Structure 1
């Protein structure tokens, strides 16, 4: 039997096994919506139905090179279902009024990339994940929804839930990192934060889960590239966060650019119909990514008419910007390439989304100038963003208690990221007002106060390569270049350092060196910055590396030579003040890495939940011939998943189990005592991992199954308890059945994925 046929059989079995569910009775509200939508569709022409499937740009910020044209005329004809990248109540009201003059007066849906906050910009998603603070993350989405809806929007292209284990991929900055469990928990709370308890309320917006599916596994870490993945990895590692977001009620989902099993996602019927609709019972609508339909031509699937028909038939309901649906579907219907049922199904789903949002009751529900004036960039929102940022920073190193800094004396703040506003919020901060963003220098002065003297020198350009710097500072994130010789720029910084008590080096990536279309093969800090850092260290002054990044970087040399390293990612609108809060000790850092940091790029992809091999390297070994290892570097990461230091220290006791046997439909508890053994109050993320020692399929060496972020005063101890049930031990086996297999298991609890205490139990 051919391999392809075996694959299809396995997939079919999975669909049958997972979709054998009793259908829920239709509620009165559902029946009311069905009646309304059916009545409306009975009045619609084929052209008007197709028009609902057309999503166009509104002429503001876009994420691609194609811009929609003649939009107002198309709206008037009923040929547009939604608009994105248009904001403010005034503009949206004016545009919605055009739709209200069309024959059937069907309202438009207005969306935008509200990725990590709206005007009040929060830290980038990877940074939010580093907080391990689910209530805070949910609140960031709640504030974003309130502000975006106040400015006219009712739909966001977020959350992005792609699992990513390849730091070369720029969009890892938009993700929650490498872990399935952490990513799934964050996906759920983001959807809940955006959508609230009722989409009809004016301060809620519809979430759009993206990118479906497997986009974070693009080959070579190159954006938009192909993916190739086993079913085991797909079902166990990459699909769960999408499912978690949909189970939380997300109203829409966006298709990814990549192919899956040889078929691009936008036209992948197994993905969008068999898996999404039949197996997962998703009842929202599916939108393509930017020009995703027309890009199928370059994938080699045919001309625009052909790929548009394939996309609709596969399960893509709305065409973003390509306008292939608008211009070709009617002809494909006449030619028998699609059916009227295909068009009706997609049209109905989009109309239902508008109904759920309350747009048929009030098309202008998000067009309140008063809300726009009073609910955006409020002092409370700004303070929430600042507090959130402080929870995301990860203290990677702090020898000799270099940090926190004293609020006195002279601080030399050097580096290309020390005196820039535009690079502070991070990629996808499309709505941020850069005039409101303080520089790092300003933030340190604000927090340090009058007794702190700050002196500044550039020290280096962002990169020695002017072209690379241009490409890494797009969309208004430019950092002016100093064209003097490098030695002269560095010497200026060294002179400043010699006058200071301590040096803060603001180094790393520019904000657009991560994000979409920002893949890198070199994960080092740019060499010109490293030369600056080496020169600063030679002064003998204490040096604090404030590391700006949207991905794991290879900072092995920095870790070996710099006494203190604080990874601040890109912290949003209030990043600078938040960095000041942590550097001066007003807030004790508590962030933990949501991604593994490699020693060098040759280790990528690297992640903690890897599987064992038949020839694993023995513990404590660097190299052993005929074992799974490298000649030139150990298998160990530079910093493991879950890693992060504090200004205090935490001591863990032994793991105590309520029972060494777990029975079906029962649970056991694992308890560990955690003590703040230092002299400073602090927060600790206590992490629970499990390992299935023997399985019908190979299992990871560790899997995150729970975590708790706790507050401990200096000297205080707390017992932290986790409940473990059979459900926590389930996985998809080789037949794609979701099972927990009896046998021996290990439990690990600790401060990160490496430094843990162990216990064992048996699942009966």
Structure 2
């Protein structure tokens, strides 16, 4: 009662201070909740339903020369459908048919979003501004922005502070162009490398995913969404989307509640606790219930247990998919009702709710208060971002703050830290800059789009540095750098392996750049049709390089096309070989691991990837990236993630049970020693803490980074637990000979499990701690004992 009385008094006070005739919702001094309720009371049902429609935005502006304005299509949907948001308005790619010529530069983008906002604010009855959402996983997916490494590379840095800085840069570039929401981070655990979207994830581990997700949320949202340089973070995809059966994108999931809560939900919970204001549902179903109609997830877990205060949004078309794909609704209005009643607020597509939701309301499938609840959540974000007071942006500021030199340098740093040195036999790396002749070979050596990943806008060639260009910029002008493509990623008809062999034979070292591609080629206007590539041999069939990226699921993980044959032919020359892999998912590296002395994994390293790879090859940067996902020897081993539950797997007839490279693996040009491990447990009423201290020393004559990793095993537990689970990690920069003490503290949340009654508890008993450089490279080990345990861990 006291709370309601205070709210009523607040409403009276703010109403008294408002300008005469000014609606309460337009009073910036009024409490947000009061403004939301006042506006809801003034809206028609049609206006409310319109606020829940997020339409595809790239057709909503028109460009005439240098002039940008709202399109007739836009004014029509505002006038007739009262829409509340747009998605991907500034996106450019073959799907949108926006190219460097037909799309918008940052200044024009700001002018376009201003034009859209102006019409929404000035030509609608209630003057409600738009929310503009954009794709922002590794840079704002718009022309002229900075392109960072994809998420799998970001997590390979094991450096959340760096990723937070990156996210803040992305947020600034998006917000100054008029965007308010960034779709990202993707928090799906990637335990199925055949799945097409591994590159968009942070890998297979819930703790690493959680830390990276928190960093992205904090970088995106900053201290205030009214800052003019921050955006709402939309978490994707809620939930368990990254482990589809057979690797089929959007496929069903059959996990149980314990695994759901112990593995798949923790990254989302951590990001929600960090303040994330938006959550996107996944396409898949879990145990037969589609995520876009799952009230247990969207209401019980997300809101009642976690206290989420933002709004939820569907993935594109997933509401209509309840009828068309999952067949859990007979009609489109029934699908709309299922989603809204479950707690799905916003419709990304504009055709899942709209007239179908109006029909559901007319058929009394949805109560008016349920509609108000969803609309209120969307309006609340608009108020909290200050859009009713400041809906516009400064085009001059957009031109100045997008893709700044500082952001380009940051992209290079993220790429440097993301590179994983998998193998370095006989210290072939780093290379000396006194080499007289270097062969640079392979389909990814000089293909700028192949190193950028999916969800990337078209780029001027001057904005992207390829590996070939990075090497040429690194060595003296007197060094002869010979390039031969050798083959494509997938096309087997246009290979010229003989040229590559000739280049390797005459060189002192051959750098062979292989892997995969999630790229569509934007070099010509032909690409605006949406084709994945634009050229092919005369009379031949066009074969896209793409083997990764959304929808490109794999049956095998082998290097495609003639890539392995190319590598084998170059190795056969006897010239020392360094293999660099530019790709979006783990691939079969068995032959390279056995026959090539040095291997680098660069993932998709972004626009500065060529510089970063060259920095590592020549020792100007000492690599310290670590794998966020295990690399299998065969698809027959899958799943092969490191923290599988007991019992420990055994070998096969054909091979052992171990991955080729384990989670956390990564080498350096320096060596590090671990010592002096001390661990002790302290218990009090309802709490337990384990203090862990140890020392790490750089024993080499070269400065470098080490990533210290702490894994935990619950030795005897009432339910089955993983044999080893990452709990803490820290990336350390150590000078030559420097030693540093590292301190970790484990709490009940690190030690707990979900018991047979589905309660979070810390059970009495012993826990084994493993300290080392990877999940397999353990340097120190000890046990701690918990005597009393903790019942009902607060969570």
Provide the TM-score with structure 1 as the length reference: 0.89
SS in 2 for 1:685: strand
Distance in structure 1 (CA, Å) of the matches to 2:446 and 2:180: 36
1:129 to 2:155 alignment = yes
Bigger drift between 723-732 and 206-215 goes to 723-732
Q: 2:74 aligns with which of 60, 66, 71?
A: 71
- Which residue number corresponds to residue 503 of structure 1? 510
- Which residue number corresponds to residue 81 of structure 1? 84
Bigger drift between 83-92 and 130-139 goes to 83-92
Q: Which digits, 9 at most, give the CA deviation of each residue in 1:56-112, with x for residues without a partner?
A: 0112699xxxxx994321213462110011131111111111211111110000011
Quote the offset at 1:323 in angstroms. 1.6
SS in 1 for 2:562: helix
Distance in structure 2 (CA, Å) of the matches to 1:677 and 1:243: 39
Quote the offset at 1:577 in angstroms. 0.8
Q: 1:632 aligns with which of 654, 678, 696?
A: 654
- Which residue number corresponds to residue 487 of structure 2? 460
- Which residue number corresponds to residue 712 of structure 1? 734
1:600 to 2:628 alignment = no
- Which residue number corresponds to residue 530 of structure 1? 564
Distance in structure 2 (CA, Å) of the matches to 1:660 and 1:307: 52
- Which residue number corresponds to residue 117 of structure 2? 96
2:719 and 2:756 in contact (8 A); partners too: yes
Q: 2:608 aligns with which of 570, 574, 579?
A: 574
Distance in structure 2 (CA, Å) of the matches to 1:311 and 1:702: 38
Q: Which digits, 9 at most, give the CA deviation of each residue in 1:220-274, with x for residues without a partner?
A: 1110111110111100000000111111111111010001221211111222122
- Which residue number corresponds to residue 729 of structure 1? 751
Distance in structure 2 (CA, Å) of the matches to 1:84 and 1:738: 39
- Which residue number corresponds to residue 387 of structure 2? 359
C-alpha change, 1:242 and 1:415, in structure 2 (3 Å) is: same
1:413 to 2:420 alignment = no
Bigger drift between 136-145 and 267-276 goes to 267-276
Q: 1:218 aligns with which of 240, 244, 250?
A: 244
C-alpha change, 1:760 and 1:432, in structure 2 (3 Å) is: farther
- Which residue number corresponds to residue 99 of structure 2? none
1:326 to 2:333 alignment = no
Unaligned stretches of 5+ in structure 2? Answer: 11-27, 62-70, 91-108, 520-546, 788-795
SS in 1 for 2:776: coil
Distance in structure 2 (CA, Å) of the matches to 1:387 and 1:463: 31
C-alpha change, 1:239 and 1:433, in structure 2 (3 Å) is: farther
Distance in structure 1 (CA, Å) of the matches to 2:776 and 2:586: 17
1:115 and 1:429 in contact (8 A); partners too: no
C-alpha change, 1:660 and 1:375, in structure 2 (3 Å) is: closer
Quote the offset at 1:653 in angstroms. 2.1
1:76 and 1:98 in contact (8 A); partners too: no
SS in 2 for 1:686: strand
- Which residue number corresponds to residue 204 of structure 2? 178
1:758 to 2:777 alignment = no
Q: 1:303 aligns with which of 321, 331, 349?
A: 331
Provide the TM-score with structure 2 as the length reference: 0.86
Distance in structure 2 (CA, Å) of the matches to 1:666 and 1:736: 20
Distance in structure 2 (CA, Å) of the matches to 1:314 and 1:527: 46
2:60 and 2:73 in contact (8 A); partners too: no
Quote the offset at 1:433 in angstroms. 4.5
Bigger drift between 216-225 and 388-397 goes to 216-225
Q: 1:143 aligns with which of 169, 180, 188?
A: 169
1:232 and 1:734 in contact (8 A); partners too: no
- Which residue number corresponds to residue 6 of structure 1? none
1:335 to 2:357 alignment = no
Superposed structure 1 runs of 4+ greater than 6 Å apart: 25-31
Distance in structure 2 (CA, Å) of the matches to 1:666 and 1:304: 51
1:661 and 1:762 in contact (8 A); partners too: no
Quote the offset at 1:456 in angstroms. 0.6
SS in 1 for 2:422: strand
Please show how residues 95-244 of structure 1 align to structure 2 within 5 Å.
Answer: 95-100=116-121, 101-118=123-140, 119-244=145-270
1:667 to 2:689 alignment = yes
Distance in structure 1 (CA, Å) of the matches to 2:612 and 2:129: 41
C-alpha change, 1:716 and 1:278, in structure 2 (3 Å) is: same
Quote the offset at 1:606 in angstroms. 1.1
Distance in structure 2 (CA, Å) of the matches to 1:649 and 1:61: 56
C-alpha change, 1:654 and 1:60, in structure 2 (3 Å) is: farther
RMSD: 2.1
Q: 2:499 aligns with which of 487, 492, 504?
A: 492
C-alpha change, 1:511 and 1:60, in structure 2 (3 Å) is: farther
Unaligned stretches of 5+ in structure 1? Answer: 1-21, 63-67, 466-482, 618-627
- Which residue number corresponds to residue 711 of structure 2? 689
1:432 and 1:573 in contact (8 A); partners too: no
Quote the offset at 1:570 in angstroms. 0.7
Distance in structure 1 (CA, Å) of the matches to 2:602 and 2:125: 53
SS in 1 for 2:353: helix
2:582 and 2:605 in contact (8 A); partners too: no
Distance in structure 2 (CA, Å) of the matches to 1:44 and 1:140: 40
Please show how residues 554-573 of structure 1 align to structure 2 within 5 Å.
Answer: 554-573=588-607
